[in-house]
Structure 1
């Protein structure tokens, strides 16, 4: 089975995440207002941005691991049991490291 479309999807998503994380970093670095209420809203917003940044970094790590599996010739095989990951699963989660059975086991 050819996995070229998954590699392209992973690379595209990696580029998107890189831009999003740069935007988040710029927003966090902006000078804040001095009004107490505005500061409270900005702090809440920063917490959301930081959470988005963390989830983006986690997704980047998963994508890089998937790309490494491409390089190693192991993409599409479950890292736990070695069985082939279904195309249906890879269509939804192209950075999947586990087959559906192993993912369900936790």
Structure 2
């Protein structure tokens, strides 16, 4: 079983940073468009990119929250698909990882 206290602290710090970024994106998207139509086109393109970033951040936040829930219920470090151990090196690289490397690879393939 991994040292969950260290992973929990890291996940909570990552979560705080992502929620802050998400808030800044929401603030940027809430700003009204410029009255100049050529500026509006640029701002709309920027908004589309921000919306994409926001969606990715929302996925990361959800993944981190699920990892924190696994820490709370004592299943952190166990693959949610096969029940095997997630390698410590994988958790170091991706503390929110829910799948062991074998299940992650098979998930990517299809």
Q: CA RMSD in A?
A: 0.9
- Equivalent residue for 1:77? 78
Deviation at 1:31, TM superposition (A): 2.0
- Equivalent residue for 1:41? 42
TM-score w.r.t. length of structure 2: 0.92
1-side partners of 2:64 and 2:73: how far apart? Answer: 14
Q: Gapped runs of 5+ residues in structure 2?
A: none
**Count of aligned pairs:** 106
Any idea what the Cα deviations from partners look like across 1:4-51, whole Å, max 9, x if unmatched? 221111100100011111101110111221212111110000001111
Aligned to 1:81, the other structure's residue is in SS state coil
1-side partners of 2:11 and 2:93: how far apart? Answer: 12
- Equivalent residue for 1:97? 98
Q: Gapped runs of 5+ residues in structure 1?
A: none
Q: After the TM superposition, list the runs of 4 or more consecutive aligned residues in structure 1 that deviate by more than 2 angstroms.
A: none
2-side partners of 1:91 and 1:47: how far apart? Answer: 33
TM-score w.r.t. length of structure 1: 0.96
* Residue 30 of structure 1 pairs with residue 31 of structure 2: yes
2-side partners of 1:99 and 1:12: how far apart? Answer: 23
